[in-house]
Amino acid sequence: MSLNLLGLNREQFQSWCAERGEKPFRARQMMRWMHQSGVNDFALMSDVSRDFREQLSACAVIEAPTVLKDTTAPDGTRKWLFDVGTGNAIEAVYIPEGDADDEPAAEGAPATRRYRGTLCVSSQAGCALECSFCSTGRQGFNRNLTVAEIVGQLWHASRSLSAATGMERPITNVVMMGMGEPLANFDNVVSAMQLMLDDHAYGISRRRLTLSTSGIVPAMDRLRDACPVALAVSLHAPNDALRDELVPINRKYPIKELMAACVRYIEKAPRDFVTFEYVLLAGINDSVAQARELVQTVKSVSCKINLIPFNPFPGSGYERSAAPAIAAFRDVLHQAGLTTTVRKTRGDTIDAACGQLAGQVRDKTRRVQRRLEESRT
């Protein structure tokens, strides 16, 4: 069986090349061909020896998951449905902001850049955490994605967008915020992020690579030590009683433990704050009193709050908070001195907005079947 080279980080690639009598620089050369130039044909790697290219053709491939569907919304949001085998398909979403004619500014340069291209990447086929307001969680869970399947989403998106726009780097930011809980697939996600950060691959800075988690506390500590990137935490409730219902992992790692883990994480993080994501559900978690409670809940953590208007999906049982309720909630946080933004809904016309990703999942947890049975009793 041929090895998919998209799944190798630099250290692994160098070791693999060394086993074949090649120097470490060969791995770096090939990484640039694959990840920066989007090349998947060994014959085009002109500075690699002919003998080694022939060896590669016999034992390796450069292969992203097959695209089943490619959809673009009127606002420019683009979603790919990728086949990951055995009846499973996962989704990745590209969100452009600003004028694509403006080249991205260098890291640390003055904030004059208007263009930003963000790719939301999936880490699992489905999700086992079953957050009640998330379409992915309703689909059940099948398996973790491999490193090649995770990186393959970025590889394909970069290649497609470069061809369509002529931009050398159409993707400036990556968020591990697609289908799945990234920290439940820790080793593969960290290996994939190492490739995203590598200057011989995608060269994304740690400040522009974000991992979003529902709050698996031990894995947050591991991430801090292994590969600290920008951190977003799906909070969604100001107290344990409500969060137990909305985000069931809270029953194992309650808010007090989660806040302590966030404080520890900031010690090594590339940013001096954590982003708390808070989906606003009408009549559930959007009252002024709950906003005041949230202020007290996060007071120990240097943070920013990202308020997310709920994006409906069939059978969710929730409704989006009204605009006045969102504004009143935001104002309480602002008045308390918390930096707070309300996320602009993007891609909802193609079910690409936050919480709407579903793909296709052959559910090993029998979650969908269980719900069907319960509805009949």
Residues 39 and 73 in one domain: no
- Say which residue the tokens 């959007």 belong to: 286
Q: Is 204 exposed, middle or buried (0-12, 13-18, 19+ CB in 10 A)?
A: buried
pTM to 2 decimal places: 0.89
pLDDT of residue 280: 96
Q: Is 60 exposed, middle or buried (0-12, 13-18, 19+ CB in 10 A)?
A: middle
pLDDT digits (tens, 9 = 90+) for 76-120: 899 999 999 988 999 999 999 876 555 455 555 444 457 899 999
User: Where a domain ends, among 61, 76, 103?
Assistant: 61
Options 17, 22, 91, 181, the catalytic residue: 91
pLDDT digits (tens, 9 = 90+) for 215-229: 999 999 999 999 999
- Residue 104 structural domain: 66-376
241: number of Cβ within 10 Å? 9
Residues 270 and 331 in one domain: yes
Distance CA 185, CA 178 (A): 13
Question: Element (H or E) spanning 222, and its range?
Answer: helix 217-226
Residues 163 and 234 in one domain: yes
Distance CA 39, CA 188 (A): 23
Q: Return the amino acid letter for 21.
A: G
91 is catalytic: yes
Lowest mean pLDDT among 71-80, 127-136, 242-251: 127-136
State the chain's mean pLDDT as an integer: 89
pLDDT digits (tens, 9 = 90+) for 324-357: 999 999 999 999 999 999 987 765 555 544 544 5
CATH number of the domain at 317, please: 3.20.20.70
Residues 14 and 145 in one domain: no
Given a contact cutoff of 8 angstroms between Cβ atoms, the answer to whether 277 and 235 are in contact is yes
Query: Residue 359: left (phi > 0), alpha (psi -120 to 50), or beta?
Result: left
Distance CA 318, CA 307 (A): 16
Mean pLDDT of 231-241: 98
Given a contact cutoff of 8 angstroms between Cβ atoms, the answer to whether 145 and 158 are in contact is no
Question: Element (H or E) spanning 148, and its range?
Answer: helix 147-165
pLDDT of 371 above 90: no
What total number of domains does the chain contain? 2
Distance CA 192, CA 219 (A): 16
Options 120, 127, 303, 354, the catalytic residue: 354
Paired with 306 in beta bridges are 277, 341
pLDDT digits (tens, 9 = 90+) for 282-331: 999 999 999 999 999 999 999 999 999 998 877 778 999 999 999 999 99
